[in-house]
Structures are given as C-alpha cells and as structure tokens.
C-alpha cells in the first residue's frame, strides 16, 4: 500500500481482461494491488512494498513461499517427465503410498486438482454407494464452489436456518438436497437423520471450521457424527482441505482419533502447487476404478510437477520440527494479541489451533457460526486493513484465519505484535 503507481497499472490492465481483475471472488481487495514476487514469509507488490504473509494463499503455504526443496523437486520432475496423461506415473504411486502411510482413513487415494473437485467427487461417490440423494453440511463451513455445497458459509442473521446460496445459477434441486445444520449440534443431526434416514447419503464436515476462523469441534461431536452416520448407513466425509498436513501429516483425524469413510485433502499438501486428494475406505474408493460405476476423470489429475511438490512437502514435514515451530509461533502471536487487547481494554477473543490463529472482536465462548454473529465486523476489518497498511498481511475480511508457516521467525511475530499494539492503540472507539 502507500506507493501505488505500479499496482494501479497492473490492476487497471487486469480489470480489462479478467472479470473483476481477479481469478477468484475471494481474492478481491479494497485497494489496488498486484503481486510480483514471494519468498519465505513475505510477498511483494508491484511497487516493491513488502508484506509479512499470514494469508498463506488461504492455507497452502506451510513451508514458506518458493521453498527451495519443493522447487528443486518440481524442477527435477519436469526435466524427467511432464504430463503424459495415460496409465500412471511412478510419482503418483509414491504419493498414494505416502498419503496412505500417514492418513488413518486413506486405504486408497484418488488425485485431482482442487479442494472443490475432491468434495464434488466425495459427494458423488457417497450418493453412488448409498443410493441416496441428499447430504448434510453445517452453517459456516465451506467445501468449494459447486452446487451441492456452495451455501451457508458467512450468512447474514436473516439467512441462518434457511438456504443461503453463494451464487446465482445454482440448480435449485441440488440446493434442496443439501440440509444445513448448526455446527457442534449433534441433536440437530440426530433429529434430521431420524426424520429422513433413507435420504441422507453423507454428512460432510470441516473438522475445524477454519472458513469462519477457528471454531473447535466440541468434545464428542465428531465421534457423535461417526456413530450417527454409521447407524444410519450414511457416509461420513471429513473435509481436511485446510486441516490436512497443516495440523498433522495424518490430518485432524489422526489428532482426534475419529476415522471417517472418506476425506478430502488439498492446500498444505503441496505448499502451493495445485493438487488435491479424495481418500477413503477401499470398498468405497474401488467404485472409482474403471468399470466401478462412478465416473472419475481429469486431464490434469496427478500432474507430475504437483505430485513432486506434494512428495517434497511431505518429506519436509516428515523431517519434523515444522509443525512444532509453527504451533509455537502461532501460540506466541495469539497470546501476545490477547494480552495487548486486554491491556488496552479492547474486547477480543483470540482463537488458535496449531498454526492457525484468529482474533475475533467479541467475547467467547465460540462454538458455532451463530455465536460469531456477535463479532464486531467493522472493528475486525479495520484491524486487518490497518495491519496490511503497516506491511503485515492479514486478509481484510472478517473472520478469516491467519496462518503461521515454517518461514516465519520469532522476530516476525515480535514485529507483528509491536505493529498490532500501535494499530490497536489507535482503534476508533
Ligand atoms: N474445503 C475447504 C475446507 C476449503 O477451505 C476449501 C477452499 O478454501 C475448499 C474445500 C475448496 O478448495 P478449492 O478452493 O481448492 O477448490
């Protein structure tokens, strides 16, 4: 921010040929910015302004931008084999084996290119396995942009308890087949299952709803979903697109000890390269095989550069120390912010799990999206924007999570806290 000449020029050109000047609705910013370089914990705009990055591209960047080991693995793969698109590559076999080794539910692995593709495939497979049409999702969770799930994420109060589609053009029939329930409310799930037991193919859940920051599942909630879905003959799908590899190599399922039927992974799996995986029980996953009845395809599935990036990222995470480093620094950031807010008499609840932290401008407790209606959106956005103005990039959208990666240092966190103190001290009443 500040000097905007270069940024303005790129953004003007972008707007001429790219709708809204961005290739995702979620990337729009309220000021002109074009990115030209990223390295380690920082990225740089077209005017040379440097930002300490807590956005991490919505989560993929766990090792730091432009990680040398990941880049080397990609280069090596590309010099040997690019996309051939028939049979299978050695790299895909190695990655499937690796994911199966780490992720408890991963008896088999299917590779695709994005989290949305993976959740789409999971739902199609669940419908095929059960012969049932409907799914359950929770208010506040995000599972991608396709019609079965693109609804009820950050909803205004009047849309809670009703359908809140994210887009025009979605098929009403598809929307009707998705039931939206409050997160952490097993009773609501049980009641729906009782009344529509033969309709529900699957329950899909963000194990920690990180799309509204960091709302933790209450003790027994995920276990309860496991019991209820099992009893009803429905599949349980854990969406670990954010949590997978970021919180643990085995996903949050390894931490919580609940094993779903199917799970989806993407983001931190390849440190920024486009790749995703649907994993799960072999008896279900086998249905994706040619002749298995559930059509699964994709020209770019298993692209060698992305698979090599995933293998290199997992190798770095296996060496150990990355998660511990990130968790420690995120804790330092979260505790520091909480202390500063208390000293200044600002109402704030900082939520954290692992490397993810989020300052909410409200009192706790926070157990569901409905609780977050108490968040002071204006203050939330003002704080984030002010941090960006000081070179600390926290996405200027309310409720969005911050990520700490391996490239962040203690000095980066200390600087963040110093700037946060300055910013919060001047926060309008
Ligand atoms: N699931 C979760 C939990 C996500 O956070 C996202 C994206 O933010 C998706 C699925 C969709 O992934 P993608 O944007 O790669 O399609």
Cβ(356)–Cβ(210) below 8 Å: yes
What mean pLDDT do residues 131-160 have?
98
Number of other residues whose CB lies within 10 A of the CB of residue 9? 14
Cβ(111)–Cβ(96) below 8 Å: yes
The Cα–Cα gap between 204 and 240 comes to 10
144 lines ligand 1 (CB under 6 A): yes
Structure confidence at residue 3 (pLDDT): 65
Ligand 1: centre distance to CA 419 (Å): 30
What mean pLDDT do residues 54-78 have?
98
Q: Is residue 57 located within the same domain as residue 146? A: no
**DSSP letter at 166?**
S
Coil, strand or helix at 70 = helix
Going by pLDDT thresholds of 50, 70 and 90, the confidence category of residue 429 is confident
> How many Cα atoms within 13 Å fall on the side-chain side of residue 109?
23
Q: Is residue 106 located within the same domain as residue 250? A: yes
> How many Cα atoms within 13 Å fall on the side-chain side of residue 407?
19
Angle at Cα 196 formed by Cα 174 and Cα 168, nearest 5°?
15
Q: Is residue 292 located within the same domain as residue 307? A: yes
Question: Which CATH number is 9's domain given?
Answer: 3.90.1150.10
Distances (CA, A) of 405 to 53, 268, 337, 427: 9, 10, 18, 28
Among 256, 190, 197, smallest CA distance to 228 is for 190
Ligand 1: centre distance to CA 17 (Å): 25
Q: Is residue 250 located within the same domain as residue 347? A: no
Residue 4 pLDDT exceeds 90: no
Coil, strand or helix at 264 = strand
Q: Is residue 343 located within the same domain as residue 312? A: no
Q: Is residue 116 located within the same domain as residue 39? A: no
206 lines ligand 1 (CB under 6 A): yes
Q: Is residue 33 located within the same domain as residue 97? A: no
Ligand 1: centre distance to CA 118 (Å): 9
119 lines ligand 1 (CB under 6 A): yes
* Catalytic residue list contains 239: yes
Question: Which CATH number is 104's domain given?
Answer: 3.40.640.10
Domain termination residue (choose one: 278, 299, 318): 318
Q: What pTM does this model have?
A: 0.98
pLDDT tens for each residue of 340-390 = 999 999 999 999 999 999 999 999 999 999 999 999 999 999 999 999 999
Q: What are phi and psi of 141, to 5 degrees?
A: -95, 150
Q: What are phi and psi of 402, to 5 degrees?
A: -105, 145
Distances (CA, A) of 293 to 127, 128, 285: 12, 8, 11
Strand order in the sheet with 402-403: 349-353, 356-360, 402-403
HEC letters along 366-385: CCCHHHHHHCCHHHHHHHHH
The Cα–Cα gap between 410 and 148 comes to 42
| Residue-number span of the structural domain to which 156 is assigned | 68-318
Can you read off the two tokens belonging to residue 360? 């909410």
What mean pLDDT do residues 400-420 have?
98
Q: What are phi and psi of 263, to 5 degrees?
A: -145, 155
Q: Is residue 381 located within the same domain as residue 414? A: yes
How many domains does the chain divide into?
2
Domain termination residue (choose one: 270, 285, 318): 318
Q: Is residue 188 located within the same domain as residue 122? A: yes
Residue 2 pLDDT exceeds 70: no
* Catalytic residue list contains 360: no
pLDDT tens for each residue of 98-110 = 999 999 999 999 9
Which residue in 45, 53, 120, 267 is the catalytic one?
267
Q: Is residue 301 located within the same domain as residue 344? A: no
Q: Is residue 107 located within the same domain as residue 59? A: no
Structure confidence at residue 402 (pLDDT): 98
Number of other residues whose CB lies within 10 A of the CB of residue 428? 6
Q: Is residue 131 located within the same domain as residue 266? A: yes
Domain termination residue (choose one: 296, 318, 340): 318
Distances (CA, A) of 132 to 125, 169, 396: 11, 24, 40
């Amino acid at each position: 921010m500040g000097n905007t000449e270069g940024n303005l020029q790129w953004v003007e050109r972008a707007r001429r040929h790219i709708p809204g000047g961005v290739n995702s609705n979620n990337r729009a910013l309220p000021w002109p910015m074009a990115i030209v370089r990223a390295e380690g914990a920082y990225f740089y705009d077209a005017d040379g302004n440097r930002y300490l990055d807590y956005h991490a591209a919505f989560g993929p960047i766990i090792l730091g931008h432009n990680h040398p080991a990941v880049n080397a693995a990609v280069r090596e793969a590309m010099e040997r084999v690019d996309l051939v698109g028939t049979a299978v590559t050695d790299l895909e076999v190695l990655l499937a084996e690796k994911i199966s080794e780490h992720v408890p539910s991963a008896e088999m692995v299917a590779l695709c290119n994005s989290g949305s593709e993976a959740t789409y495939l999971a739902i199609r497979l669940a419908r095929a396995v059960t012969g049932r049409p409907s799914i359950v999702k929770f208010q506040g969770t995000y599972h991608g942009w396709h019609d079965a799930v693109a609804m009820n994420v950050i909803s205004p109060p009047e849309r809670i308890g009703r359908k809140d589609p994210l887009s025009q053009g979605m098929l009403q029939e598809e929307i009707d087949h998705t039931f939206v329930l409050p997160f952490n409310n097993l009773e609501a799930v049980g009641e729906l299952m009782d009344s529509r037991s033969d309709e529900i193919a699957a329950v899909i859940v963000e194990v920690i709803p990180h799309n509204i920051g960091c709302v933790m599942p209450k003790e027994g909630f995920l276990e309860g979903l496991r019991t209820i879905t099992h009893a009803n003959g429905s599949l349980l799908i854990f969406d670990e697109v954010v949590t997978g590899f970021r919180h643990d190599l085995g996903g949050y399922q390894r931490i919580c000890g609940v094993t779903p039927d199917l799970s989806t992974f993407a983001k931190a799996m390849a440190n920024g390269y486009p790749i995703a995986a649907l994993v799960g029980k072999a008896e279900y996953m086998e249905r994706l095989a040619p002749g298995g009845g559930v059509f699964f395809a994709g020209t770019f599935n298993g692209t060698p550069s992305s698979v090599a990036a995933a293998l290199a990222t997992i190798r770095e995470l296996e060496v150990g120390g990355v998660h511990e480093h990130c968790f420690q620094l995120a804790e330092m950031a979260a505790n520091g912010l909480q202390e500063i807010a208390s000293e200044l008499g600002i109402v704030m609840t900082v939520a954290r799990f692992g490397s993810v932290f989020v300052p909410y401008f409200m009192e706790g407790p926070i157990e569901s999206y409905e609780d977050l209606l108490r968040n002071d959106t204006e203050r939330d956005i003002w704080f984030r924007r002010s941090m960006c103005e000081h070179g600390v990039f926290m996405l200027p959208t309310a409720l969005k999570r911050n990520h700490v990666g391996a490239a962040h240092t203690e000095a980066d966190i200390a600087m963040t806290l110093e700037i946060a103190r300055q910013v919060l001290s001047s926060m309008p009443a």
